[in-house]
Amino acid sequence: MTMRRTFMKTAMAMGIAGMSLGVASTAVAEELDTIREAGVIRIAMSGAYPPFNFVNDQNQVVGFDPAIGTEIARRMGLEVEIVTTAWDGIIAGLLTNRYDAIVGSMSITPERDEVLDFVGPYYTTKRAIFTLPDSGITSVSQINDDVTLGVTLGETHEEWAREQGYNIRTYRGLPELILELQNGRVDAIVNDSIAAILAMGERDIDYVMLDDLETDVIGAGIAIREGNPMLAAEMQAALDAMMEDGTYLEIAEEWVGGDIR
């Protein structure tokens, strides 16, 4: 899968910039040139979203996202610097130049696409609601004012849960969500299906995923600042090449157990 919509947007931007507007052309090339001059691309993630990104026992940030970001950087001839930050402030950090890209399982939404550009999607998932087998909750219709739903602060799932009028508690990441569910401080949690299933399987937790939730497939993309079509094009080319030569599948099998395109 490739990012057809955003790549067309990128190509159009490059075409406009290539006209007689010399100032615009310089601005377009500036951010990629700055990254190349430094020899490093800074990528951000929460570090609290296993197995996609998390801190291991050696205090290293590892997972599917860091592996994808590092491989893209390598193919661009760059080193990578991983920055961990709270998810609810991660977009602000990108817009204020604390890092060059977000490679942190960020869902591509129309609202985010208004202020960011996206490379990808580099995997797809869907929203899911999980509870414990003894909760008595077997249907989305049972989620009412007496049910407390755990969500990660700043995720699209939080916005969705608020729109539904659910009684929610917010947390910093998936490990905290799962712990709160186990301890009975929330009755159910909302998260991306793949990440939650893998994380709870790793912890040998019995769970129930409500099968009557109507939801669309969600694409996760790499976010960069707007107005950088050359950077977007190079990152997209590296991602496409990874998918074509088998490297992407090797990374996916290592971290999530299979192809999640």
The answer to whether residues 200 and 151 belong to one domain is: yes
**Prior bond to 66 cis, omega within 30?**
no
User: pLDDT per residue over 103-139, tens digit each?
Assistant: 999 999 999 999 999 999 999 999 999 999 999 999 9
Helices 22-38 & 4-17 angle (0-180, nearest 10):
120
The answer to whether residues 149 and 232 belong to one domain is: no
In a domain, 9, yes or no: yes
What confidence score (pLDDT) does residue 114 get?
A: 96
The answer to whether residues 36 and 78 belong to one domain is: yes
CA 4 to mean position of chain CA atoms: 18
> Residue ranges of the chain with pLDDT lower than 50?
1-29
What confidence score (pLDDT) does residue 26 get?
A: 39
In a domain, 232, yes or no: yes
Sheet holding 48-49, edge to edge: 48-49, 53-55, 61-62
Domain total of the chain: 2
The answer to whether residues 139 and 114 belong to one domain is: no
What confidence score (pLDDT) does residue 21 get?
A: 35
The answer to whether residues 8 and 78 belong to one domain is: yes
The answer to whether residues 64 and 9 belong to one domain is: yes
In a domain, 98, yes or no: yes
Per the structure, the complete domain to which residue 195 belongs is given by 126-209
In a domain, 261, yes or no: no
CB 228 within 8 A of CB 32: yes
> Which residue(s) pair with 168 in the sheet?
149
The CATH number of the domain where 152 resides is what?
3.40.190.10
CB atoms within 10 A of CB 213: 15
In a domain, 249, yes or no: yes
In a domain, 240, yes or no: yes
Please identify, among 173, 189, 209, the residue that sits at the C-terminal boundary of a domain: 209
The answer to whether residues 230 and 250 belong to one domain is: yes
The answer to whether residues 116 and 17 belong to one domain is: yes
The answer to whether residues 182 and 227 belong to one domain is: no
The answer to whether residues 164 and 182 belong to one domain is: yes
Cα distances (angstroms) measured from residue 184 to each of 12, 19, 45, 166:
51, 61, 28, 17
Smallest Cα–Cα separation from 64: which of 183, 198, 164? 198
In a domain, 53, yes or no: yes
The answer to whether residues 69 and 165 belong to one domain is: no
Phi then psi dihedrals of residue 7, to 5 deg: -65, -40
What confidence score (pLDDT) does residue 6 get?
A: 42
The answer to whether residues 21 and 42 belong to one domain is: yes
In a domain, 45, yes or no: yes
